[in-house]
Amino acid sequence: MNKNVKINNPMKVITGPDTRWSYANVWEPKSINGGTPKYSVSLIIPKSDTKTIAKIKAAIEAAYKEGESKLKGNGKSVPALSVIKTPLRDGDMERPDDPAYANAYFVNANATSAPGIVDADRNPILTRSEVYSGVYGRASITFYAFNSSGNKGIACGLNNLQKIRDGEPLGGKASAESDFATDDDDDFLD
């Protein structure tokens, strides 16, 4: 058996290295509105990364086809892909006031189990402070159809993350390093 044979899952995507992670909640699962605690990250993908965007659109299509019976549920027909919730969102339209989302699409990915997190050399990242909202890296994500309590759509599951490089932290919190980067006590006089 050849170990190099990759089973191609059309619903799985590895994003490009210029994907920026926002709302990175990847070390501890967080419960939203009392729901199941989940690990999550908002993946900001530049519109210039047409390859990743195309792969995501294809994976959403594949998840739609694969999940038709689930989406149909007890209904007579499968709702059109254009009318159900899909995870690929336009940052310019949905987050016009957030410069981090300008000229970008974004996908919110989550999982109930912790994602594997590695560095550019594929070594596990153990220092939590190395992964924060604002870093750039690749994400392994899988799209799937859901139909729960009247909500139908395609969701995005988070598999693994690979940090490629640091970025300006998002969320407005300055790092301790940058807060104390100067020796001047009179910063506020400038």
- Tell me whether residue 2 is in a domain: no
CATH value at residue 136: 2.40.50.140
> Rounded to whole angstroms, how far apart are CA atoms 188 and 190?
6
Taking the CA of residue 106 as centre, how many other CA atoms within 13 Å lie in the half-sphere pointing to its CB?
22
- Tell me whether residue 77 is in a domain: yes
* pLDDT digit string, tens, across residues 92-151: 999 999 999 999 999 999 999 999 999 999 999 999 999 999 999 999 999 999 998 888
Q: SS3 for 88?
A: coil
- Tell me whether residue 153 is in a domain: yes
* pLDDT digit string, tens, across residues 25-77: 999 999 988 889 999 999 999 999 999 999 999 999 999 999 999 999 888 89
Q: Which two tokens stand for residue 15?
A: 């994003």
Strands 38-46 and 20-30: antiparallel
Q: Is 154 exposed, middle or buried (0-12, 13-18, 19+ CB in 10 A)?
A: buried
Q: Which two tokens stand for residue 54?
A: 């195309």
- Tell me whether residue 23 is in a domain: yes
> Rounded to whole angstroms, how far apart are CA atoms 143 and 122?
23
Q: How far is CA 58 from the centre of its chain?
A: 16
> Rounded to whole angstroms, how far apart are CA atoms 17 and 104?
14
Query: 172: pLDDT confidence band, cut at 50, 70 and 90?
Result: low
- Tell me whether residue 190 is in a domain: no
Domain tally for the chain?
1
**Residue (of 74, 91, 66) closest to 145 by Cα position:** 66
- The residue segments making up the domain with residue 121 are 12-182
- Tell me whether residue 97 is in a domain: yes
- Tell me whether residue 1 is in a domain: no
- Tell me whether residue 4 is in a domain: no
Q: How far is CA 23 from the centre of its chain?
A: 9
